[in-house]
Amino acid sequence: MITYAGRADRSRRISSALMTSLTALCTLLAVGALFIILAYIAVQGIGSLNLQFLIDSPRPVGEGGGIGNAILGSLVLLGISSAFGLPIGICVGVYLSEVGKGRLASIVRFIVDTLTGIPSIVTGVFVYAILVLPMKHFSAFAGGVALALIMVPIVARTTEEMLKLVPHSLREGALALGAPQWRVTLGVILPAAASGIATGAMLAIARVSGETAPLLFTAFGSRFFPTSLNEPIASLTVQIYNYALSPYDEWHALAWAATLVLMTLILGINIIVRVLTRRKF
Amino acid sequence: MQLKSMPVQTMAPRVEVPERRDTRVPSETPSTQPKVSVRDLDFFYGRTQALHAISVDIPERVVMAFIGPSGCGKSTFLRTLNRMNDVIPATRLSGKVMIDGHDIYAPGTDVVALRRKVGMVFQKSNPFPKSIFENVAYGLRINRITSSKSELAGRVEQALQDAALWNEVKDRLKTSALSLSGGQQQRLCIARALAIRPEILLMDEPASALDPIATSKIEELIFDLKKQYTIVIVTHNMQQAARVSDTTAFFLLGKLIEVNATEKMFTAPNEKLTEDYITGRFG
């Protein structure tokens, strides 16, 4: 009796130890890979990083040059895409959570989910066909629209989820005071979900700030500082792509440094998201 | 407390249930017309019938308590009185709910105006994530009741005083309503409902989540409020019904079993089922 219990006990302890080490190993692999990527980029990029690099525009091989125009271009593109993508995405989310009922809403939700899964290069080709071809030239505007199209479904779904987290009792409380539906949504529900929606928005911005493919056919890239939204514009990702594809070692080093800047930018956005969400609790 | 000193003649006469016999024709003179008059009300959630042929009159400026076991339909019935069930999909209703002689389910009824007249306090306090002041001001703002800032501030103060909360919050009106304690939040929700000066106040187990001290504050409040308002309160707590109400209605399985003066209800009910419930034989 006692030996039997002892044996069962030991095999339980062994399998427990095995499974614990297995999960630890998997975690180590995943986190380790991420850490190696970050460390490698930092080591490769830090050498070419200086103030000149951050504010200058690209120059021919051998003359140095920087990514100032690409940083500015990326920010402009993010600005355009946020101006279109965030309001539209939030409106779709409000529709899905508060307004739409029944069949139409589930069709819309299905379409939004499908849009989330569309490869970003397809979005780029689409915008090329509907904006770049008619306008007959690449533009910052077209790039912003392509990124906005990627943002809309992400923002829409996070907004919907955040609005659904607002307790139903708040809606009833406002309705019971004689508030019409639209005032309940605008005055009570949206403010209550504001920090969650802001988180979703920031995550969407972080996501599109790393996109390259949709920009290749839309914003195209440029060697100069932007002067108009109606002309091609540089972006960090496309600049990295161009530098990395070149045959020159010097430009490869610049690509690493630009990558480091991009990673820092995305990390910064993610940290802001964390701070925003923490404030709620 | 001398809560039971109210005159007994304000109480509604007993309604015959479940027979659909209408014993009283609503009178034309407003003095005797009940504030709320319900006739043959059936209510369905999808295919499930939640209320069966409810007929009851609620006189003006009394407190009527709804008691009964969980799921008996008392909350559902309460929510038909300000059409709060409209929010729930796939619900259906037949019969008549008259408030001041008007059928509130007649086509063309202004639900917003109805809910302004029939305020509601919920079981779980549900202050908006706004400041204390903005919570009370919300109903005034959306209904455009006040025309100046000072008038708005005055109405907010009055409502907070009526809800016996003013002294506790007057120095921190700008702070978040969520910083208040549970009992204070519930009184804030009462203040919010009172601010638009409804004529009827529906309370769905307003004290069920509160400690005894907060509960007694709410009960005192109800006692004060009935001078101005017609109050309908759903409660699980029979002592509470006995303490605060003039009339009590007993619901069971979606039927209204008995309506009687509260004193009579708790001492010598007419129905055997009521007696069994009150004495704790079931439910």
User: Would you call B192 and A173 a contact, using CB atoms and an 8 Å cutoff?
Assistant: yes
Q: What is the mean pLDDT of chain A?
A: 90
Distance from CA of A4 to the nearest CA of B (A): 50
Percent of chain B at pLDDT > 70 equals 88
Three-state secondary-structure class, residue B277:
helix
Average pLDDT, chain B: 85
**Domains of chain B from N-terminus onward:** 3-278 (3.40.50.300)
In chain B, what residues touch A196 (CB-CB under 8 Å)? none
d(CA A256, CA A199): 29
Q: Is A180 on the interface with B (CB under 8 A)?
A: yes
Give DSSP secondary structure letters for B195-257. HT--SEEEEESTTTTS-HHHHHHHHHHHHHHTTT-EEEEE-S-HHHHHHH-SEEEEEETTEEE
CB of A192 within 8 Å of a chain B CB? The answer is yes
Q: What is the pLDDT of residue B12?
A: 45
Q: Give the per-residue pLDDT at B195.
A: 92
Residue-level pLDDT at B210 = 80
Mean pLDDT of A201-210: 90
Distance CA B251, CA A159 (A): 41
pLDDT score at A275: 82
> Is residue B5 predicted with pLDDT exceeding 60?
no
Strand order in the sheet with B247-252: B118-121, B200-204, B230-234, B63-67, B247-252, B255-261
Q: Which residue of B has its CA nearest to A168?
A: B126
Candidates 3.10.310.70, 3.10.450.30, 3.50.50.60, 1.10.3720.10; CATH matching A53-280 = 1.10.3720.10
Cβ distance A177 to B87 less than 8 Å, yes or no, reads: no
Q: Are the C-beta atoms of A159 and A94 separated by less than 8 Å?
A: yes
Residue of B125, B141, B142, B203 to mutate for A, most A C-beta atoms under 10 A: B142
pTM of the complete model: 0.77
* Neighbour-count burial for B30-59, b at 16+ CB within 10 Å, e otherwise: eeebbbbbbbebebeeeeeebbbbbbbbbb
pLDDT tens, residue by residue, B193-228? 999 999 999 999 988 878 888 888 889 889 888 888
Share of chain A above pLDDT 90, in %: 67
Which residues, 6+ apart, have CB-to-CB distance to B237 below 8 Å?
B207, B208
Alpha-carbon distance values, B78 to B107, B130, B203 (Å): 20, 27, 8
Provide, as residue numbers in chain B, all residues whose Cβ is less than 8 Å from the Cβ of A175: 84, 87, 115
Q: For A233-255, what is each residue's pLDDT tens digit?
A: 999 999 999 999 999 998 999 99
Provide the pLDDT confidence category of residue B26 given band limits of 50, 70 and 90. very low
CA atoms within 13 A on the CB side of B170: 11
Give the whole-angstrom CA distance, residue A224 versus residue B278.
85
Shortest CA gap A184–chain B (Å): 10
How far is the C-alpha of B280 from the C-alpha of B283, rounded, in Å? Answer: 7
pLDDT digits (tens, 9 = 90+) for B100-126: 989 999 998 899 889 999 999 998 889
Of B267, B249, B223, B235, residue with least CA distance to B6: B223
pLDDT of residue B9: 43
Q: Sketch the domain layout of chain A as residue ranges.
A: 2-46, 53-280
Render pLDDT for B215-271 as a digit per residue (tens, 0 to 9).
888 898 898 888 889 999 999 888 899 999 999 999 999 999 999 999 999 999 999
Tell me what pLDDT residue A273 has: 77
Instruction: Please give the pLDDT value at position B208.
Output: 84
What span, in angstroms and rounded, lies between the C-alpha atoms of B280 and A174?
A: 37
Both structure tokens of A117: 């899964």
CB distance B143–A172 less than 8 Å?
Answer: no
Give residues with Cβ within 8 angstroms of A15, minimum separation 6: none
- B142–A172: do the CB atoms touch at under 8 Å? no
For residues B267 and B263, what is the distance between their CA atoms, to the nearest angstrom?
A: 6
**Cβ distance of A171 and B129 shorter than 8 Å:** no
Residue A99 has pLDDT above 60, yes or no: yes
Q: What span, in angstroms and rounded, lies between the C-alpha atoms of B165 and B157?
A: 9
Residue of A nearest to B201 (CA): A176
Label residue B283 by pLDDT band (50, 70, 90).
Answer: low
**What angle in degrees, to the nearest 10, is found between the helix axes of B182-195 and B149-162?**
130
Residues in chain A closer than 8 A to B116 (CB atoms): 177-178
